Structure 1
Amino acid sequence: MSGSSTPVAYGGFDGGFIDTLIGLPTDHRQLYETMRRQMLRDAGSQEMTMPAEYMFHDVPLRDGDPDADPVAVTLAEMDRFGVEVGLIGLGAAPEAAARALTDHPDRFVGCLTLDPNRGMEGIRELVAAHERWGLRAVAVFPHGVSPQVPLDAPLMYPIYAKCVELGLPIFLTVGIAGPRVPSTKVQKVELLDQVMYDFPELVVVMRHGAEPWVEMAVKLMIKWPNLHYSTSAFAPRYYPQEIVDYANSRGADRILYAGYFPMGLTLERIFTEMPDVGFTDDVWPNFLRGNAARILGLDG
């Protein structure tokens, strides 16, 4: 594990981790500009670096060096904590993301976030991005687009179908996420029951906690073999106990590590708290690497 002073072994596994939600410390206001302009109504949200800043003690984006090379900053943090590969979005800071994917293809892989409201224009963008970058995933933030689009809405189905055709997993934000916009009508976990039925080949990864419907998330993972859960935007001390118990019993191949650097969490905080998560030894290799490697097609 390069760059780390004191490696911590997780069930004998101490490096080569895959982070399925990592970013570059650039100006992310543009990423959230549509939400800020069209959706956020409270004065506090207008002043935040990112719309869920109130949920985090220290937001790395807010305190970062604006003159630092964002790609170098993220790489240094990855090296420090044993993260070998990071899944980054192409929507935020597209120039920096493009440079990361071009200059460091062994360290970064791309994920395209789509707005279902764009219809076939978005599908064409997906195809073009996949041809250019060899995408490893697609993402949709149902309550973060305007108008909002439920997980099981007809507007989502062309994206799901194209993901199946291209062999790409889709990361979906579920549950009550942080930005102060309504979530309950569009991000209810139960809506995935119909989606998984209609698209049995679709690989879905739930993002951002699934709260307060974590029990439902576990029930649906037991039912649907292509449904997974990532720990994005949660410090390890707050991983839901239902998820830890599921991973330790029958769900070791369904739970993926995801951080939230630099949007809300530092890797230092994440990996300081990580050893206290109650995963059994056999869960750690899959959680920190194996499941993401399989889903993102990085096994080779």
Structure 2
Amino acid sequence: MAGPLNLDDMVAIDFHTHAEEACGMHADDGYDDLQQAMAQYFHSPFKAPPTIPETAEYYRQRRIAAVIFHVDAEAATGHRRYNNEEIATLAAEHSDVLIPFASIDPAKGKMGVREARRLISDFGVRGFKFHPTYQAFYPNDRAAYPLYEVIQEAGLPALFHTGQTGVGAGMRGGYGLRLKYSNPMCIDDVAADFPDLKIIMAHPSFPWQEEALAVATHKPNVYIDLSGWSPKYFPPILIKYANSLLKNRMLFGSDWPAILPDRWLADFEKLDIKPEVRPLILKENARRLLGF
């Protein structure tokens, strides 16, 4: 069993990493095809998706803590999800570097609400991940609100994919996935209806970057993680807000294993970010948000 997480010894917190290797089972063939397409899209260096222990070792060597999760999209895709309990258990075995989030398809309704409560009380998950495009739901759909209520009540963050996605990119019909669900303006409703819910909008929100910045500027409970893109491609307006109005609500995220933190951090070094802002983005904002 790994020791406790000591963030004083960490150089950064990566707020966006994926548990891509199935836990205790092989993924469906359809999901294999999807992963292969994503690996091609992101030019992945991995021959096979890294396991959770392999992920932990990579981050341990670099003294970076990592928020790790999967995505439950069973209703929309028919793919078996990875087991939340097993991911949390594996993360606990590497608790010196891994911070477990869970994922529950909003389509699970009351069953999902019950599962969320159990994962919080019995497995110590520290937040929840949603992918509106992959899960085929609008974040402001009232059917998802009971799940948000549980997360808000527990004081935990909810992380939402926003903008275009590499999932299904280049596949026939984009694998049937629809980008409209991930417009960040839908998050504005959630932030207004759940003012005490800690909300993170994942990624530079192409093609809705200005909408995302407007939501985060207007709603103080909304953060942005900068994962999924190399920083060298960040639009100037995103860098401007990261240096000023939103400097306390921007988070480092890589999108592992699609993008390696080594590459992200090297490109981030070249950005015109104020010296006093860099530690906020790399660690301190995430630390405050997670309550560590």
Q: TM-score, normalised by structure 1?
A: 0.79
Could you tell me which of 275, 286, 291 is aligned with 2:285?
291
Paired residue secondary structure (1:21): strand
- Residues 82-128 of structure 1: CA distance to partner in whole angstroms, max 9, x if unpaired? 31x21111664768634432322232111011111000111111111
Q: Which residue does 2:263 correspond to in 1?
A: 269
Q: Which residue does 2:274 correspond to in 1?
A: 280
Q: Which residue does 2:42 correspond to in 1?
A: 56
Alignment partners' CA distance in 2, 1:201 and 1:140: 18
Alignment partners' CA distance in 2, 1:24 and 1:117: 21
Which amino acid is the alignment partner of residue 81 of structure 1? R
- Residues 160-207 of structure 1: CA distance to partner in whole angstroms, max 9, x if unpaired? 211111111100011122222443431111112222111111111011
* CA 265–189 in structure 1, closer or farther in 2 if over 3 Å, else same: same
1:142-181, aligned counterparts within 5 Å? 142-145=132-135, 148-178=136-166, 179=168, 180=174, 181=176
Could you tell me which of 242, 246, 256 is aligned with 1:247?
242
Which amino acid is the alignment partner of residue 53 of structure 1? A
1:41-80, aligned counterparts within 5 Å? 47-57=33-43, 59-60=44-45, 62-64=46-48, 70-80=51-61
Q: Is the 8 A contact 1:24 1:96 kept in 2?
A: no
1:1-300, aligned counterparts within 5 Å? 15-24=10-19, 26-27=21-22, 33=28, 36=30, 47-57=33-43, 59-60=44-45, 62-64=46-48, 70-83=51-64, 85-89=65-69, 92=82, 97-145=87-135, 148-178=136-166, 179=168, 180=174, 181-262=176-257, 264-298=258-292
Higher normalized helix content (fraction of residues): 2
Counting aligned pairs with the same residue, the percent is 25
The CA deviation at 1:288 is 0.7
The CA deviation at 1:54 is 4.1
* CA 94–193 in structure 1, closer or farther in 2 if over 3 Å, else same: closer
Paired residue secondary structure (2:35): coil
Q: Is the 8 A contact 1:100 1:108 kept in 2?
A: no
Q: Which residue does 2:171 correspond to in 1?
A: none
The CA deviation at 1:138 is 0.7
In structure 2, the gaps of 5 or more residues are: 1-7, 71-80, 169-173
Alignment partners' CA distance in 2, 1:125 and 1:213: 33
Alignment partners' CA distance in 1, 2:115 and 2:59: 29
Paired residue secondary structure (1:101): helix
The CA deviation at 1:27 is 4.8
Alignment partners' CA distance in 1, 2:179 and 2:19: 30
Q: Is the 8 A contact 2:204 2:227 kept in 1?
A: yes
The CA deviation at 1:18 is 0.7
**Equivalent residue pairs, number:** 267
Alignment partners' CA distance in 2, 1:253 and 1:244: 13
Which amino acid is the alignment partner of residue 187 of structure 1? S
In structure 1, the gaps of 5 or more residues are: 1-12, 38-45
RMSD (Å), alpha carbons: 2.8
Q: Which residue does 2:76 correspond to in 1?
A: none
Alignment partners' CA distance in 1, 2:260 and 2:191: 33
The CA deviation at 1:242 is 2.0
Q: TM-score, normalised by structure 2?
A: 0.81
Of stretches 209-218 and 88-97 in structure 1, the one that deviates more from structure 2 is 88-97
Paired residue secondary structure (1:164): helix
Q: Is the 8 A contact 2:13 2:252 kept in 1?
A: yes
